[in-house]
Amino acid sequence: MSRWKVLFLFVLEIATEMFSEDIYRYTVLSHFPSPNNSFRTRWQIDRKMSIILLFLISPLIFCFTYLSMFGMPHFKYGMTVPEQSVHRAILYSSSQNMSHHPWDFHLKTHKHYAVKGYKLVCYYSLPSSSDSLQVEDIDPFLCTHLNVAFATVVNNTAYLDEKQKDYLKKLLELKQSNENLKVLVSVGGAGNIGGFPEMVANHTNRKTFIQSVIHYVKNYGIDGVDLDWEFPNEEPGKDKIQRVHFTQLLEEFRKSINREPHFPYILSVSVAAPAAIIDNSYDVAYINEYVDFINVMSYDYHFYTKVTPFTGINSPLYTADNEKYYLSTLNINYSVNYWNYLGVERHKINVGLPTYGHTFRLINPSNNGTYAPSLGYGKLGKQGFVSYPQICQFLSSNQITPVFDMETKSPYASKYYEWISFDNSQSLIYKAEYIRDNNFGGAMVWSLNSDDYKGICKDEQGGVSKFTLIRNIKKVLQGES
């Protein structure tokens, strides 16, 4: 049934009940008696006047009813987050069900050593349209590493189609301007796990895959490969051998690197942030031995699902006071220290930072803090994902001042039924300072595409700059802020 029909029937029912003769006799004549012979005439006159009045105010009734049932309509903005699956976000939300992790885990004291040369690893989704971020618009000095997203696993090889290869060649030309820039091909991605289980299953398949990567190193001049399998042993108890096979793949990669002294290349792994998935998917000590660094995907901690029908911060730096047990582990500080506790050296840990946000649809606009009941994705963006330029336009067009949560060091904003968790310059400066002060290896950013690459967002002084968020991260890591 359409919305219009629902509203029409609603008004019709009110009119039918309101103007019946029995109700009129009870509600009116009991307070304003009239002679018996004039009752029906009076009822007919009042009924006509009331119907006229009802239809005069019906636009107001319609608007109120529409807002109550369907919420406030929003404008649609361009520059959406590049195609990405909600696969990882859903897995993060359901990860509580796959672990018996001791949530009261406490960190040991570590002796920190200053990191020389922080890494700033930026993911770049290859263009899907003319409105997407183009290679020529990327500053070759912005990031230390560019991860090309994504190659897939096809017939046990790292596969890029011809169009992707053309873009890869253009990206490698950026190295002519900055010879220190590293360009890696990232294999996999959220929801793109096809081919991984079969490829890691035996030595022959793994060898074929490694040789395909070496082909890109030698023939295209890429600097390495990033493995983004989300995630080994995804279904607990079904195929735990995947975790072992993934470790074997990393070991064999390291041996091949050592055998190719004239073609050294980088081996990195993008890994989960929730402790439950870490325990389930990785042999952490071996990962530390075989890879150059890991990229911890410390975002998507809170995302609308039927299991988690409430608002939450996308990438909180710390836990909030009201978060207990499992919820107290869903933050950057816990995740990266847990990886370190299990055996990955701090200088090999890159902390994941998002340039996008998550939207939620509130049930009650008056209840608009964190953990407020939600009934789905917000209208802004796509499937709960929204880019930074979209967020800027939403805030400015609605004249909204975000709430900055000092516990999690993260902002959020709401308007009517729309609720958004995101990161801005203020929150990312806090997080970059955390990386620097705790001597982690650097930051990983998802992604160049969802940052303000067109220079739309205004800063506090009213100025604009391209890639505002990533530039602020870089300034902190380089000691400029």
Question: Active-site residues: which are they?
Answer: 230
Residue 159 · residue 151 · CB < 8 Å: yes
Give CA–CA dist 463/343, Å, rounded.
Answer: 44
The amino acid that residue 277 corresponds to is I
Identify which of 283, 271, 276 has the alpha carbon closest to the alpha carbon of residue 342. 283
Give CA–CA dist 180/193, Å, rounded.
Answer: 31
How far CA 66 is from CA of 10, 11, 317, 416, in Å, comes to: 11, 12, 38, 13
Residue 187 · residue 153 · CB < 8 Å: yes
Burial class of residue 63 (count of CB atoms within 10 Å of its CB; 0-12, 13-18, 19+): exposed
The amino acid that residue 9 corresponds to is L
